[in-house]
Amino acid sequence: MLAIGEFSRMTHLSIRTLRRYHEAGLLEPEQVDASSGYRYYTVEQIPTAQVIHRLRELDVPLPDVRRILRSPDPDQRAALVAQHLGRLEAELARTRAAVGSLRRLLVPEPPPLEVELRAEPAATVAAVADDVDADDVIGWYAGAMAELDAVLGPTAEGPPGGLYDNALFERGRGRMVVYRPAVDPPTRGRVQPVTVPAVELVVTTHRGEHDDVDVTYGELGAWVARNALTVAGPVRERYLVGPRDTDDPDAWRTEIGWPVFRVGPRPDGGRLGR
Amino acid sequence: MLAIGEFSRMTHLSIRTLRRYHEAGLLEPEQVDASSGYRYYTVEQIPTAQVIHRLRELDVPLPDVRRILRSPDPDQRAALVAQHLGRLEAELARTRAAVGSLRRLLVPEPPPLEVELRAEPAATVAAVADDVDADDVIGWYAGAMAELDAVLGPTAEGPPGGLYDNALFERGRGRMVVYRPAVDPPTRGRVQPVTVPAVELVVTTHRGEHDDVDVTYGELGAWVARNALTVAGPVRERYLVGPRDTDDPDAWRTEIGWPVFRVGPRPDGGRLGR
DNA sequence: CTGGAGTCTCCCCCTGGGGGAGGGCCCAGA
DNA sequence: TCTGGGCCCTCCCCCAGGGGGAGACTCCAG
């Protein structure tokens, strides 16, 4: 039996960390003295401790480490690990995107901003809607669009789009609507007919990678502010050319539209009604 | 003038986050109402907010973001950014190492562990020593070894080595000694003559990448425990073949030695005397 | 003038660590 | 069998960089 200090030396996990892992149910000492509370480990627990160490180096959250350790089936275990390696891949992609975007930001070649004020008519579309956390936007969008495609089939009546509740940006959670235009929109699964209301829309087009889209948002917002307008409802995006159309990011075009009121009333505080 | 909610919509930074950035001195509102405390921003601050957003996506700490924003010279600013990109590189390398090591750990091909109990004589060497945090070990080692090489020159009397206080593993901070054997060791800069005491040493050799070294530590520890020995002083490593000898990691050999006492006394609790 | 959306501050919580205080336990030597 | 000192225990506080929510005040259009 090994006291916690000896076990610490053998595994290169600090004593404090071992105690935390005990508390979290990750690595239970083989025996705990009932009266003194002393933790005693065995040499057979060393490999487990090392696996935990590696997983933590990969920033796998403690509950997930526990799941991995407790899954008896090696295949299932491998799948859980692979899932986290996928997460690392995604994180790397995010980092790469931020680096690229930062570079573009620091070497600004200000493109002429073309803004249009347009009266957008109401339209009934096939949509998927839900309350979403800001971090889940990407994943939720992918799922919702896939479901739309599955229900509507490949023949499109026009580019897909989305409505984004301002609370999504201001408070990190809000209503999200993803839609595709359709004649006589069906009701199936999460897909429902939704009527996008008529509105006065300030519109511009974002070119290229979506990572930079907030820059265009900023420019559009500045334009709105300078023209003494005020936001009146969820922001709209329309994906004129996107990854579903071409693999060349430079060719992508996203139409961004802000509903506005002249000066006056903000009937719903800029939020998306239900 | 833009209220915080409008500014939030334009920059995709949440209201809470904007308040935090104000508090941290990252992004001061152009104007703060003295009586109400309302924050008011201008459209000119949007690009700054976007740069902050990008830097935070790269996990640049808030104080460093502040430094970057406040450095007036573009060159200096670029240098600060580049520094953080270097940090990202290092992190990526660490992640890659952990992935590789995890793979090796999960597909174990248990190499025969050859352990030797050896009476190590005392030796006087040229050494650099200091108290070091566990996270700084790599960097400190590199600096200390470079200084040793600069003082001693290229002709080596034997492989370099190190002594590692057990507190380094147990408590995350401890004394570290890096040395090179030398006849008549000089005193220059941080380099000093140090006498490594004679000791009974349990020794094995780790093969390959240093990322896996804790596995060998674990095996050695298990051997020590099974033979009813007890640790008596700082762990020793000797770098028989390392990156300074060959670029092939599979050829690297690190000798790992644990000073032990048979059963009996632990004169200094396994810590490194001064 | 009024009501509701917007904003303020303040406090608590999260993760995965670390620092340190105060006190009990273990065990080799005498 | 006692003793001392190293080991281990629990408990509380702190860190970054966020989020949740309460309770009160402000802004502004009708």
In this structure, what CATH number is given to the domain that contains residue A162?
3.20.80.10
List all residues of chain B from 173 to 212 with a beta carbon under 8 Å from chain A.
none
Looking at beta carbons, which residues of chain B come within 8 Å of A15? 170-171
Looking at beta carbons, which residues of chain B come within 8 Å of A78? 106
Assess if residue B274 is contained within a domain.
no
pLDDT band at B107 (very low <50, low <70, confident <90, very high): confident
Assess if residue B88 is contained within a domain.
no
Which residue of chain A comes nearest to B11, CA vs CA? Answer: A218
The pLDDT of A113-140, averaged and rounded, is 91
Residue B203 burial class via C-beta count within 10 angstroms: exposed 0-12, middle 13-18, buried 19 and up: middle
E strand or H helix that includes residue A3: strand A2-3
Assess if residue B85 is contained within a domain.
no
pLDDT band at A169 (very low <50, low <70, confident <90, very high): very high
State the angle between helix axes of B62-70 and B74-106 in degrees (0 to 180), rounded to the nearest 10.
150
The 10s digit of each residue's pLDDT in B89-105 is 989 999 999 999 998 88
Interface membership of B8 toward A (CB under 8 Å): yes
Specify whether B40 is located in the same domain as B155: no
Determine the distance in angstroms separating the CA of A153 from the nearest CA of chain B, rounded to an integer: 33
Instruction: Name which residue leads in pLDDT, B59 or A227.
Output: B59
Specify whether B64 is located in the same domain as B138: no
Assess if residue B17 is contained within a domain.
yes
Q: Which two tokens stand for residue B34?
A: 């003295």
pLDDT > 90: percent of chain B: 70
Determine the distance between A264 (CA) and C2 (C1') in angstroms: 18
What domain count does chain A have?
2
* pLDDT for A255: 96
Q: Which amino acid is at A125?
A: V
Among A70, A87, A103, residue at a domain's last position: A70
Specify whether B53 is located in the same domain as B134: no
Specify whether A65 is located in the same domain as A158: no
The 10s digit of each residue's pLDDT in B204-253 is 999 988 988 999 999 999 998 888 888 888 999 999 999 989 999 999 99
Assess if residue B269 is contained within a domain.
no
Which residue of chain A comes nearest to B13, CA vs CA? Answer: A169
Assess if residue A99 is contained within a domain.
no
CB contact under 8 A, B9 and A85: no
CB contact under 8 A, A81 and B94: no
CB contact under 8 A, A12 and B214: yes
User: Which of A51, A169, A214 faces B14 most closely, judged by CB atoms?
Assistant: A169
Specify whether B41 is located in the same domain as B171: no
Specify whether A120 is located in the same domain as A248: yes
The pLDDT of B142-150, averaged and rounded, is 94
pLDDT band at A251 (very low <50, low <70, confident <90, very high): very high
Among B54, B70, B86, residue at a domain's last position: B70
User: Which of B43, B47, B101 faces A225 most closely, judged by CB atoms?
Assistant: B43
Instruction: Reduce the secondary structure of A66-112 to three states and give it as a string.
Output: HHHHHCCCHHHHHHHHHHHHHHHHHHHHHHHHHHHHHHHHHCCCCCC
Specify whether A132 is located in the same domain as A253: yes
Among B53, B70, B87, residue at a domain's last position: B70
Q: Is the dihedral of CA B241, B247, B251, B253 positive or negative?
A: positive
The pLDDT of B129-143, averaged and rounded, is 91
Specify whether A241 is located in the same domain as A124: yes
Assess if residue A164 is contained within a domain.
yes
User: Is the pLDDT confidence value at A271 over 50?
Assistant: no
Q: Chain C: nucleotides under 7 Å from a protein CB?
A: 4-9, 15-19, 24-26, 28-29
Interface membership of B105 toward A (CB under 8 Å): yes
Specify whether A65 is located in the same domain as A122: no
Assess if residue B50 is contained within a domain.
yes
Phi, psi of B120 (to 5 degrees): -90, 125
Structural domain for B64, as ranges: 2-70
* pLDDT for B265: 37
Report the CATH number at residue A35: 1.10.1660.10
Which residue of chain A comes nearest to B59, CA vs CA? Answer: A95
Specify whether A143 is located in the same domain as A252: yes
Please count the residue pairs, one from chain A and one from chain B, whose beta carbons lie less than 8 angstroms apart: 157
B104 phi-psi bin (left φ>0, alpha ψ -120 to 50, beta other):
alpha
List all residues of chain A from 12 to 51 with a beta carbon under 8 Å from chain B.
12-16, 43, 46-47, 49-51
Looking at beta carbons, which residues of chain A come within 8 Å of B11? 214, 217-218, 221
* pLDDT for B74: 86
B17 touches strand D (CB under 7 A): yes
pLDDT band at A262 (very low <50, low <70, confident <90, very high): low
Specify whether B143 is located in the same domain as B256: yes
Alpha-carbon separation of residue B196 from B120, B151, B236 (angstroms)? 10, 19, 10
pLDDT band at B264 (very low <50, low <70, confident <90, very high): very low
Specify whether B66 is located in the same domain as B122: no
The 10s digit of each residue's pLDDT in B6-21 is 999 999 999 999 999 9
Identify the top-confidence range among A19-23, A131-135, B153-157: A19-23
* pLDDT for B268: 38
